[in-house]
Amino acid sequence: MAEVRDLLVEIGTEELPPKALQSLSAAFADALTAQLGEAGLAFAQLRRFATPRRLAVWIRGLPPAQPDRELERKGPALKAAYDADGNPTKAAQGFARSCGVEVGDLEVRETPKGAWLVYRQRQEGKPTKVLVPAMVEEALARLPIPKRMRWGAGDAEFVRPVHWILMLFGDEVIEGNILGIPADRLTRGHRFHHPAPIEIERPDQYADRLLDPGHVVAVFEERRATIRQQVEAKAAEAGGVAHIDEVLLDEVCALNEWPVAVLGRYEARFLEIPPEVLITTMQSHQKYFPVMDESGGLKPFFITIANIDSREPGQVQAGNERVIRPRFSDAAFFWEQDLKSPLETFVEGLKGVVFQNRLGTLYDKTRRIGALTRLIADRLGHDEGPSVRAAELSKCDLMSEMVGEFPSLQGIMGRYYAEHAGELAEVATAIEEHYLPRHAGDDLPQTAAGQAVAIADKLDTLVGIFAIGQRPSGVKDPFGLRRAALGVLRILIEVPLDLDLLELLEHAAGHIAPKVEVEDRTIDEVFDYMMERLRAYYADRSMTPDVVEAVMARRPTRPADFDQRVRAVAMFRTLPEAGSLASANKRIRNILRKAEDDYPSRPDPRLLRESGERALASELERVTPEVEPLLERGEYTEALRRLASLKKPVDQFFDEVMVMTDENDLRRNRLALLASLSSLFLRIADLSRLQQANP
């Protein structure tokens, strides 16, 4: 066997979009390895490299060429290939011509379905170095780039202009042009520390040569770890702890090839501004890491990452301090201006802000939220006062100077302004909480008022957008309906709150009706859309799809109740009796569905002749009074434990009893008995949907 070699491919570019760097790197490696697999080129290991100015992969242990392959083309069936005299038919002749051979060169392949003419050809594998350039071009074409750009006079397109291509197979340069640029063995170091070309003799030298003399840390994860260590060390110098947002850390890593942490400070007077404002300014605008004290309060320091090891770090520090000062000054001005007016004075301004053209203004929306919030508080037996007040003020901070400048602080600033205006603590907290959860895995509202307003706000949006015919399609979801739907479900399930989702949707539709007519089918569509989100919700919690489907089939309208059923069915699947009872339920459903007879609601004891049906009826009579109170209280897990005791009489019934007997009265009575049994299980879930009970 020929000796394997390593492949190194580097695409050198102008600075790549930092938020997309990791996804581009992963997609490039995945696309390239997929093509290697399609070509039959196995390899031992892959390593990715990603910096602001390069995407690269090092693939170890590639063979020098594809393996030879035996190709087979299937032709006409043998009986259609020759006539009665044994002469080739037109079908056989045409197939042979298409393969470039004579009919006599074709072979016969016997299969269980008959004999066929086939053409077999041995295809010699191509050299790896010949295949790679086209693979790289194809991998780059497959990258998830929303908008490509051109540069220079050529037709090449990429996310950023490409300046060099490195392609090595072992110690040999792979000849070829990628995006109009000929490949060689030269890479480039840091833009300032080492702009000169660096020659790479073999793929295994790549990372080391970039590090020294290139001043480039090529491995994303290593660079990220270096930044974290430096930031933590600088924060310790300031007597504090670094506040490291993981998303920001990724972005900063994607902005730097040679990261150097620099500690800066700002005036302590700015600490009078809410810390969220300062943190947002530092993180979002400047890509700085804030420094906190041991109690979680801000210290007047920040840490920035310079992409250069400056001979004058003091100048770098001073420059960053100059940049942050006016931003904090603006924030202080907004804060002071907003505090001059109580939060409720912003209500009037909501009348001039359109939420959605057909659904009215933000003022209209807050009125609807308030009405639905009142219903929710009533259903839960809560004091409606704080909840309704929070709903009335929920969108007021959108009119503030601060949220106008920092939209991500909506709700947070509302809480501060409500506290300053003397609103109840629960009202102020609910204004912030009603936006929760903002994303997957986010915290849920903790106060009763926050939970009520959060549900009302999200349901108003869902019903309204569905009513005007703008439900999400594909990946487009401009109103965040998927997030809103899952947010409501999480609150109802995880708090939990015993609320009927369908009832809430109907009331939400009623409040929207003055603006837009909401049809009954629209309410059902919103309900089904929301409940469909539960499939992914439970999949993330390792719940098997058939368990969710078994409950979904019964269409419970209370998500908290839905969750209890799912947990009960999941427990049931672990019982020894589960497999047999799930199969029995499936059999019963099929029998009842196909039965043409009308049968009574309860079996007649006088018509129970066989010992198997008498035993089942007796056990049903015993267990039903035990189970029904459990079902009424929603104690589904215990109910299914009790029902599992029916396995033996159910098995005996199907072993001994002919349900569809010719005797009409007996048949109808046995159907009634099975229907009574089935209805008990159906009070919880349709167990016939379970695919692999008790695995």
Supply the pLDDT for residue 139: 96
On whether both 363 and 333 belong to a single domain, the answer is no
Per-residue pLDDT band at 1 (split at 50, 70, 90): very low
Supply the pLDDT for residue 692: 61
On whether both 118 and 142 belong to a single domain, the answer is no
On whether both 614 and 506 belong to a single domain, the answer is no
Could you tell me if residue 547 is inside a domain?
no
Could you tell me if residue 146 is inside a domain?
yes
Percent of the chain at pLDDT exceeding 70 = 99
On whether both 462 and 592 belong to a single domain, the answer is no
Distances from the Cα of 66 to the Cαs of 58, 61, 138, in angstroms?
A: 19, 13, 18
On whether both 597 and 502 belong to a single domain, the answer is no
Angle subtended at Cα 238 by Cα 317 and Cα 309, rounded to the nearest 5 degrees: 35
User: Rounded to 5 degrees, what are φ and ψ at 303?
Assistant: -130, 125
Distance CA 569, CA 551 (A): 8
Supply the pLDDT for residue 694: 44
On whether both 186 and 241 belong to a single domain, the answer is no
Per-residue pLDDT band at 298 (split at 50, 70, 90): very high
- 174, 168 contact by CB (below 8 A): yes
Distance CA 220, CA 7 (A): 19
On whether both 79 and 146 belong to a single domain, the answer is no
State which of 181, 211, 241 marks the end of a domain: 211
pLDDT of residue 454 exceeding 90, the answer is: yes
pLDDT per residue over 191-205, tens digit each?
999 999 999 999 999
Q: What number is the average pLDDT over the span 200-211?
A: 97
Largest CA distance in the chain: 105
pLDDT per residue over 24-42, tens digit each?
999 999 999 999 999 999 9
Could you tell me if residue 379 is inside a domain?
yes
On whether both 462 and 532 belong to a single domain, the answer is yes
Q: State the burial class of residue 154 (Cβ atoms within 10 Å of its Cβ: 0-12, 13-18, 19+).
A: exposed
Could you tell me if residue 345 is inside a domain?
no
On whether both 91 and 206 belong to a single domain, the answer is no
Distance CA 520, CA 601 (A): 32
Could you tell me if residue 395 is inside a domain?
yes
On whether both 188 and 289 belong to a single domain, the answer is no
Supply the pLDDT for residue 584: 93
State which of 123, 144, 168 marks the end of a domain: 123
Q: For all residues of the chain together, what is the average pLDDT?
A: 94
Could you tell me if residue 556 is inside a domain?
no
Q: What number is the average pLDDT over the span 576-597?
A: 91
SS3 content of the chain, % helix, strand, coil (to 5): 55, 15, 30
pLDDT per residue over 327-385, tens digit each?
999 999 999 999 999 999 999 999 999 999 999 999 999 999 999 999 999 999 999 99
CATH number for position 683: 1.10.730
State which of 338, 364, 390 marks the end of a domain: 338
> Domain range spanning residue 134?
5-65+127-211
Supply the pLDDT for residue 79: 85
**Domains contained in the chain, number:** 5
Could you tell me if residue 677 is inside a domain?
yes
pLDDT of residue 611 exceeding 80, the answer is: yes
On whether both 101 and 198 belong to a single domain, the answer is no
On whether both 82 and 116 belong to a single domain, the answer is yes
Supply the pLDDT for residue 2: 64
pLDDT per residue over 94-118, tens digit each?
998 998 888 888 888 888 888 888 8
Could you tell me if residue 444 is inside a domain?
yes
Percent of the chain at pLDDT exceeding 90 = 85
pLDDT per residue over 123-157, tens digit each?
788 999 999 999 999 999 999 998 999 998 888 99
Phi-psi region of 287 (alpha: psi -120 to 50; beta: other; left: phi over 0): left
pLDDT per residue over 505-521, tens digit each?
999 999 998 889 889 99
Distance CA 346, CA 249 (A): 37
